[in-house]
Amino acid sequence: MAIKVKSAEEVARKWAEVTPQRGAYYEAGAGVAGAEWEAKTAAAASAYRAAVTAPNIETMFRGGVKRAGASKYERKVKDVGAARFGPGVAAAQADMQNGVEPMLSTIAALTLSARAPRGSDANYRRVQEVGTALHKKRLALRAAGA
């Protein structure tokens, strides 16, 4: 005997009508779950490594991208992303400041080699000095859990 199920259209319609009214439940639960998220996510590091190094990960990733497709990406930008962009940027101001501060401090602490005439390879080495310092800083922050 077949199992009777509602149509995908009916399920999606009800989900779209009912779920937006559940914002307070989301905020109440997710808003206090940071410590649990951090602990469980950190504990899942080996599972993450196994997932991203699976033999067929590139094929699975490519398949997921193709399944979603360009049209879904563009539709979501228009229908959701554009409206959330400004408030998202405003909400991220402190995070951006905290993220960029170590890099700006690293650059400010550098003493670069002397400038050379225009077009000289020595000038490109100055760029490399900045890049190397920033890369080292990024690795140090990651190792420290920052």
Give the Cα separation of 6 and 12 in Å (integer): 10
Give the Cα separation of 102 and 64 in Å (integer): 36
Say how far residue 1 (Cα) sits from the centre of its chain: 46
Residue pointed to by tokens 């940027």? 89
Mean pLDDT of 125-130: 96
pLDDT reported for residue 135: 97
pLDDT reported for residue 1: 86
Mean pLDDT of 120-143: 96
Residue 60's contacts (CB-CB under 8 Å, 6 or more residues apart) are 54
CA distances from 37 to 29, 31, 43, 45, 126 (A): 12, 11, 10, 13, 42
pLDDT reported for residue 144: 79
Grade residue 74 by pLDDT with cuts at 50, 70 and 90: very high
pLDDT reported for residue 62: 96
Q: What is the pTM of this model?
A: 0.69
